[in-house]
Amino acid sequence: MVETPVNGGRRRWLAPGESGLAWGGLALVGVLLLAVTLSAWWSLRAWNQSALHDAGLEADRVAGLLATAAEASLSGDSPTALRRLATDAAMGGWRVEVSLDGVGLIASGTPGELGSVDIPASWTDLGDLGVLGGADPMRPVRKRAFRVPGRGTGVVAVTPPAVSATAGEPAIAIRAGSLAAAAIGLVALLFVYRTLRSRLRGMASIGDALVLLAHGEQRTDVLVVDEGFGEAGAAWNALLADRRVLRAQAAAERVDQALAGGGHDSRDLREAFDALRDGVMLVDDAGTILETNGAAGVLLRKERGVIVGSTVLESLGEQAADLLAGIGAGEGHARAAVDLENEPGSEKGVLRVGIVPLRNGARARALVRIEDVTQLRHAEEGRNHFLAQATHELRTPLTNIRLYVEQAIEEGDEDPQLREQAFNVIGQESRRLERIVGDMLSVAELEAGTLAIRRGDVRLESLLEQLENDYRAQAENKEILLRFDLPPRLPVISGDQDRLGLVLHNLMGNALKYTPAGGEVVVLASADDEGTVRIAVRDTGIGIAPDQFERVFERFARAEDDRVRHVTGTGLGLALAREVARAHGGEIEIESEIDTGSTFTLVLPGAAERSMAA
């Protein structure tokens, strides 16, 4: 079924949409014509009134003159002069009548109206009456009384000539002019209307089509307008045709994408791509990246738009491009680690790139998977370093123990002093082994997330006394002055004695390790009124740069300072110490200055208070 185009083919006096405008225009014309007519009528009326007014005034003046003339003329015996004046006035179009009270008409401008009249010596005298019927200036007839002393009174009646404007030529001209103006206006309006009618219909039709479109009408054959509506209509129809083509193209693309995606909507695929933590790329035969996901953009520090369209060589480097070339040569799946270049202000990253061939893709020939293995690499390096250091740390006390055991066995019976010294060394090295093993176990617990605190009462005095006993000999051997600056009495606190011992041993071990011969290590302890316990280990060692403060707490961290490269250690001590401190709700604080020394302080807020409360 073919729909009738919007407004097309319908012949109506007024097209839809234009009717309001047209009727409005006609109404306006009507109002204008009415206004012109009213204006003409009003002007005519005003002109007429003005003419009447002027005529009335003139009649008053003429009546006054004739009354004076009548008084003068009738003072004598003959009214001839008066009658001549009336006749003269009649010749100018005036109508003049002079009558005497009780006598009648004695003079008139109308020929034949006046018969033979004798004027008596005296007639009725009505007194001094003045103006009669001349007060209204709009009335054309004027009467004026006069009085002849000693004889009587009379009246002069004057009618001016042709006082009605409605009958004159000016009135006709005005009427004709008004009608002509109205007619010309009406014709002009009809001309303009007929001229614009086609265009108005076109615009109205397009407006109707837009309204239909806004209400969801999508059928093009309903939305087209009559081609006869001019350029605007043709342009609108052309736009509709373009829209139909674009919609068809979009639909075709959606179908293509859906087919290429195995029946899934492409937006779902894009969403799924972006939900992956690993970067993913689809690559064609030429190594051009066809599609990628958000993770790839983050890992490569590039916008998705920049990656898509670039080559693997440009985005991932030569190594990945070589891998891709190997895929093309039939070498099968490939994986490789690619080190990201360091950028100023960014952190080093290690990416692992894997390439999987796609045999049946429409355009894509390979899928590139990018994993961020930086943390994994870091952990592997740390574990390797830890194993190497732990091996070294274990071997040293074990060697000492073996040597002193052999010495005690061989020479102990003969030299009791040597035997006692050997047993002391064996005891110290055994405790050192115990601490190393304890550290390793703690690391394992930390890695497994099972590092637990077993709280109990901890006697700080005995803990610090044990610390002094364990390190006194080591300090003396290294010619370091070890001093414990403690208050007379320290509180019993709540905590895990073994873990806190581990913390203090690590702080003390580091202080002795990094303090040269002749230096000093001081242990200070205090407890404030709020129950916060602070145990500080202050040394006069090499010191730490402020930018390394956080790094020393990293697990497996090794100092980048050339002065301590020869110093061995697992790199776990301070990391463990801080974890233990935090597990107690506390912290390890650092104060340090290069070549002056460092102070590591174990802060345990409220530890003493909890113990006392318990």
Partner 1 sequence: MEIVEERQGAVTVVRPKGQIGEAEATILRQRLRDVLERSLGRFVLDAADIPYADSTGLELLLDVTDELSGSGRVLKLCAATDTLREALKLTGIGDRFEHFADVQTGVRSFL
Pairing of the two strands 597-604 and 587-593: antiparallel
Which residue has 């909890």 as its token pair? Answer: 610
Q: Whose Cβ is closer to partner 1: residue 295's or residue 544's? A: 295
**Contact letters for partner 1, residues 323-352 (x by CB under 8 A):** ----------------------xxxxx---
φ, ψ of residue 587 to 5 degrees: the values are -160, 160
Closest CA relative to residue 383, chosen from 251, 221, 555, 259 = 555
Angle formed at CA 574 by CA 568 and CA 580, multiple of 5 degrees: 140
Q: Does 274 bind partner 1 (CB under 8 A)?
A: yes
Among 301, 333, 335, 392, binds partner 1 (CB under 8 A): 301
Q: Whose Cβ is closer to partner 1: residue 352's or residue 377's? A: 377
Among 275, 409, 441, 481, binds partner 1 (CB under 8 A): 275
Map the footprint of partner 1 across residues 486-545, applying CB under 8 A.
none
Name the E strands within 387-461: 456-459
Q: Is the separation of the CB atoms in 530 and 605 below 8 Å?
A: yes
- Least gap, CB of 376 to partner 1 (angstroms): 5
Phi/psi zone of residue 190: left (φ > 0), alpha (ψ -120 to 50 degrees), beta?
Answer: alpha
Q: Whose Cβ is closer to partner 1: residue 156's or residue 552's? A: 552
- Of 3-11, 75-83, 289-297, 353-361, the segment contacting partner 1 by CB under 8 A is 289-297
Q: Whose Cβ is closer to partner 1: residue 298's or residue 481's? A: 298
- Least gap, CB of 530 to partner 1 (angstroms): 19
**Contact letters for partner 1, residues 349-378 (x by CB under 8 A):** x----------------------x-xxxxx
- Least gap, CB of 293 to partner 1 (angstroms): 7
The 8-class DSSP code of residue 95 comes to E
Among 62, 89, 299, 504, binds partner 1 (CB under 8 A): 299
Q: Whose Cβ is closer to partner 1: residue 243's or residue 377's? A: 377
Q: Is the separation of the CB atoms in 588 and 581 below 8 Å?
A: yes
Q: Does 449 bind partner 1 (CB under 8 A)?
A: yes
Pairing of the two strands 289-292 and 279-283: antiparallel
- Least gap, CB of 21 to partner 1 (angstroms): 52
Q: Whose Cβ is closer to partner 1: residue 202's or residue 382's? A: 382
**Contact letters for partner 1, residues 547-576 (x by CB under 8 A):** ---xx-xxx---------------------
Q: Does 439 bind partner 1 (CB under 8 A)?
A: no
Q: Is the separation of the CB atoms in 580 and 503 below 8 Å?
A: yes
Map the footprint of partner 1 across residues 376-415, applying CB under 8 A.
376-379, 382
Q: Is the separation of the CB atoms in 589 and 578 below 8 Å?
A: no
Q: Go through 33-56 and write b for each residue having 16 or more CB atoms within 10 A of its CB, e for each that does not.
A: beebeeebeeebeebbeebbeebb
Q: Whose Cβ is closer to partner 1: residue 110's or residue 346's? A: 346
Show the tokens assigned to 244: 């139909």
Residues 263-268: contacts with CB under 8 Å, at least 24 apart: none
First to last CA, the chain: 93
- Least gap, CB of 392 to partner 1 (angstroms): 22
Kindly give the residue spans of alpha helices, DSSP state H, lying in 261-283: 266-274
Q: Whose Cβ is closer to partner 1: residue 55's or residue 295's? A: 295
Closest CA relative to residue 610, chosen from 398, 446, 458 = 458
Q: Is the separation of the CB atoms in 504 and 530 below 8 Å?
A: no
Compute how many residues bind partner 1; rule: CB under 8 A.
35
Around 65, how many Cα atoms within 13 Å sit in the side-chain half-sphere?
Answer: 12
- Least gap, CB of 445 to partner 1 (angstroms): 10
Q: Does 268 bind partner 1 (CB under 8 A)?
A: no
Q: Does 75 bind partner 1 (CB under 8 A)?
A: no
Q: Which residues bind partner 1 (CB under 8 A)?
A: 274-278, 293-295, 297-299, 301, 345-349, 372, 374-379, 382, 446-447, 449, 451, 550-551, 553-555, 579
